Structure 1
Amino acid sequence: MPIQYYIALAVTLFSIGVVGVLIRRNAIIVFMCIELMLNAANLLLVAFSKTHPATSVAPLAGIDGQLFVFFVMVVAAAEVSVGLAIIVMLYRNTHSVDVDFLNRLKN
């Protein structure tokens, strides 16, 4: 499969994620859109590593992008766990997960 298909799919997923972050007001949906953008970047990392393998290590050709994806997924899992904990605590205090309402709390 040509790399252009992967690029088109990743750009589409990333664009949907950006639009979701900019338009939606629910904090949980915003987190889901951020995860969608991270997965689009992960798709490109794996696709590029498979089409352009490293030439220095022949038996592990094409695994570089997968290692980066693993680290991105670990960071994303930590971000989601901390973010959801913050959202749960804010919901307990304010009974809302609306981003506009939470933005007014800083005044």
Structure 2
Amino acid sequence: MSDCLFCKILDGEVPSDEVASNDHAYAFRDVSPQAPTHVLVIPRRHEPDVGSLVEADPDAAVAVLGLAKQVADEVGGSYRLVFNTGADAHQSVFHCHAHVLAGRSLGWPPG
């Protein structure tokens, strides 16, 4: 989509700090980190949220999860994987993305 920030990152129109990638997904550092490690993992296919991605392209959904695990494994220790879905859940970019958060104690409930 031409107005999607994450599509522009995938197309190279907007710079990002790449962490990892595979055929179906791309991981990069969040520009406003909420933890010492805060990486976004996005599918190369534009889908608005994780549920839509699972329905449209299950292989891409698995690739996103696999890349998120790879990123978390490289950090080591505990991590949180978050998919915000919808405006009321504070999703601000409507291109499916996972937040990999690690590097500090992550209290509950998340705040």
Tell me the TM-score range normalised by the shorter chain: 0.3 to 0.5
TM-score, reference length from structure 1: 0.32
Q: In proportion to residue count, which structure has more strand?
A: 2
TM-score, reference length from structure 2: 0.31
**Structure with the greater alpha carbon radius of gyration:** 1
Q: Which has the higher contact order (CA 8 A, sep 6+)?
A: 2
